[in-house]
Amino acid sequence: MTTVQESAAVRYGIWVACPVAGAAAAWGLTLAAGWITTLKWFPFQGIFETVAGLPQPWVTLGALVAGAVAGFVLALVWASEMLSVEVSAGRVTLRKDDKTFDFGRDQVESAFADGKQLVLLSPSGAELARETSDLSRARLEQAFTEQGYRWRHSDPFATEFKMWVEHAPDLPADVNALFTARRKALSKYEHEEAAELAREIRKRGVAVRDEKKRQYYRCER
Residue 26 has pLDDT above 90, yes or no: no
Residue 197 has pLDDT above 70, yes or no: yes
Q: What is the 3-state secondary structure (H, E, C) of the chain?
A: CEEECCCHHHHHHHHHHHHHHHHHHHHHHHHHHHHHCCCCCCCCHHHHHHHHHCCCCHHHHHHHHHHHHHHHHHHHHHHHCCEEEEECCCEEEEEECCEEEEEEHHHCCEEEEECCEEEEECCCCCEEEEEECCCCHHHHHHHHHHCCCEECCCCCCHHHCEECCCCCCCCCHHHHHHHHHHHHHHHCCCHHHHHHHHHHHHHCCEEEEEECCEEEEEECC
What amino acid is encoded at 140 in this protein?
L
Average pLDDT of the residues in 103-120: 96
Which pLDDT value is given to residue 42?
A: 80
Residue 221 has pLDDT above 70, yes or no: no
pTM: 0.78
Do residues 182 and 194 lie in contact, with contact meaning Cβ atoms separated by under 8 Å?
yes
* Cα distance between residue 207 and residue 112, in whole Å: 15
Average pLDDT, the chain: 89
Out of 17-31, 81-95, 197-211, least confident range: 17-31
Could you tell me the sign of the dihedral formed by the alpha carbons of 199, 202, 204, 207, in that order?
positive
Q: In terms of pLDDT, which residue wins out, 107 or 22?
A: 107
Average pLDDT of the residues in 110-126: 95
Interval 146-186: pLDDT, tens: 999 999 999 999 999 999 999 999 999 999 999 999 999 99
